[in-house]
Amino acid sequence: MSTDKSKEPHKHHALLKSSGIVACGVLASRGLGFVRDVIIARFLGTGFLAEAFFVAQRIPNLLRDLVGEGAANAAIVPVLSEYAQKKTKEEWQECINAVLAWGVIVLGGITVVGMLAAPWIVRLIAPGFAGEHGELQLTVDLTRIMFPYLILIALTAFQAGILYSLNAFFAPAFGPCLLNLAMILSVWVACLFSWPLAYTISVGVVVGGVWQFWAQWAALRRRGVHWKMPLKLDHEGARQIGKLLLPRLWGSTVYQLNVFVDTFCASLAMIVGAGGIAAIYYANRMIQFPLGVFGYALSSVVLPSLSKFAQEQDMIRFKSTLFFALRNLMLILIPTALGMVIFSKWIIHVVFQRGAFDAYSTNVTSQVMFYAALGLPFFGASRILVSAFYALHDTKTPVKVATVCLLVNVALNGILMFPMKIGGIALASSIAGAVNCLLLYNGLNKKLSWK
């Protein structure tokens, strides 16, 4: 086991440099996303068009995290990092081909089934729409338009995982900018030709998925990775990824059940008030800005390094890198959270209140943001801690913790949404996030004995 501390400053410098690349990409993406959300809020507000679009967009996004980004983070990066160190380049390439082939088969099947089952899926996710035939049918139509985005973005995430294992962060970091550009251009096209806005933006989502996929594919080609259908699907590396992925699938399912519970409760306008789903979306976009720029950047960059140290059994550098990432993240997220709590109404008013986004929309959205910001540091720290578990090839512990937190969130939603309305749903998520972070920290403490 290496104990050479002289390497630590250099390693941390490299980590910060890679994090800076990812942070710049995420910052550019979030900036464009901010412009996109302001435009959407200007034309759709928090009315039924906005809620139909957000629910329809959420459905393929739920599955994307389940089979796409979750797979890249939990299984692909650690396994391919190990292959890159211990196997030949040809074996590494064969593993990639097998994994991507399985991705095409599984995701293609899910996409077809999802488009056919869209009416039932919408009724399940947003039962409050069932009594409004026009809103229900619009949501079903938009869901079917956007469902192919699932296979595009999930394969994009798979390719990003390959790039991460190569310590190549530029294309994965800046790729999401293309989705936001496509959606912004779709609004412009809709206004130029007087096309239905919700439908046109939905098409823009799919176009953005195509652009993102192409960007990652081109980056892999430049690094000599040539994706082709393998002669056989049965591959040792693919099986290893599958074993790591199975518990992560349940973990992603638990996370999506949390989202489902929040959407379900927010659709009950008679309890939480009108515009709840849209308010959660807009507030979440504001929370995701610092979380994405800093939390996503550090967790994405730290995973390959932690995986390498775990494979080398160098727990001293493993823990040093982990705490370095946590400290730097907290220095940013804690002050940011305080600012969002104090200035929540002013921020929402300045950013969104115009056009269809009126004073009521500002009030309900700022209420959600106030309580959601309380959980921001915990959400960020959890990303880093989960990456540490993945690097140790432990995908079971985060799943167990997530399951406990799902039950906490469900119980708190039921308790808080009646007296606090939509704010209660946001507060429930923040409390569940804090519980998640503390349980993950305690689990790593027991595993690594760092006291």
Angle at 439 between CA 436 and CA 444, to 5 degrees: 125
Cβ pair 139, 122 in contact under 8 A: yes
Between helix 89-116 and helix 149-165 the angle, nearest 10°, is: 160
Q: Is the pLDDT of residue 421 over 70?
A: yes
pLDDT, tens digit, 9 for 90 and up, residues 378-417: 999 998 998 888 888 787 888 889 889 989 999 999 899 8
359 vs 300 pLDDT, higher one = 359
Sign of CA dihedral 20, 22, 28, 32: negative
A 10 A CB-CB count for 151 gives 26
Q: Is the pLDDT of residue 68 over 60?
A: no
**Residue linked to tokens 């309380």:** 374
Q: Is the pLDDT of residue 309 over 90?
A: no
pLDDT for 6 equals 44
Q: Is the pLDDT of residue 255 over 70?
A: no
Cβ pair 65, 256 in contact under 8 A: yes
Q: Is the pLDDT of residue 77 over 90?
A: no
pLDDT, tens digit, 9 for 90 and up, residues 166-195: 777 788 878 888 999 999 999 999 988 888
A 10 A CB-CB count for 23 gives 24
